[in-house]
Amino acid sequence: MKTLYTAAFLLFIAVSFSAKKENFQENKLVATFKGVTDEDFYKFEDQENKEYLFYDIHEDLEIDLYDEDLIGKKYKITWKTKQIDVLDEYGEETGEKTTVKTIINIEA
């Protein structure tokens, strides 16, 4: 019985080390909301006039950046990058990936 537990434990360790782990770094930013671009990116600008375009917002956040009343307001943003599939003009996946920014927290 002891060998069965040992084998199960070793199998668990092997699977843990072989599993793909997602490493991401959270980034923080204070920026002014400038609106939604024609490509549906959320556009922000920091105090040095550096532009940041965000692809999406975490689904648990309750903010509607399509509300034009939010334009011009400053926000504390926590974001990370992620990879998404590139689509062709017909909406089909091309097999390529691109890296985009996604908002994981936003506070006024």
- Please report, for the domain that includes residue 37, its CATH number: 2.40.50
Count Cβ atoms below 10 Å from residue 42 Cβ, excluding itself.
Answer: 24
17-to-9, 31, 41 alpha-carbon distances in Å = 13, 39, 37
pLDDT of residue 2: 47
State percent of the chain over pLDDT 70.
78
Q: Could you tell me the residue range of the domain that residue 46 belongs to?
A: 22-107
Model confidence at 23: pLDDT above 70 = no
**Domain annotation covers residue 68:** yes
In a domain, 2, yes or no: no
On whether the CB atoms of residues 77 and 63 are closer than 8 A, the answer is no
Residue 87 lies in a domain: yes
pLDDT digits (tens, 9 = 90+) for 43-79: 999 999 999 999 999 999 999 999 999 999 999 999 9
Instruction: Examine residue 66 and state whether it is found in any structural domain, yes or no.
Output: yes
Asked whether residue 62 is domain-assigned, the answer is: yes
pLDDT of residue 25: 83
Instruction: Please indicate, yes or no, if residue 30 is contained in any of the structural domains.
Output: yes
Provide the whole-model pTM: 0.73
Give one DSSP letter per residue of 3-18, joined into a string: HHHHHHHHHHHHHHHH
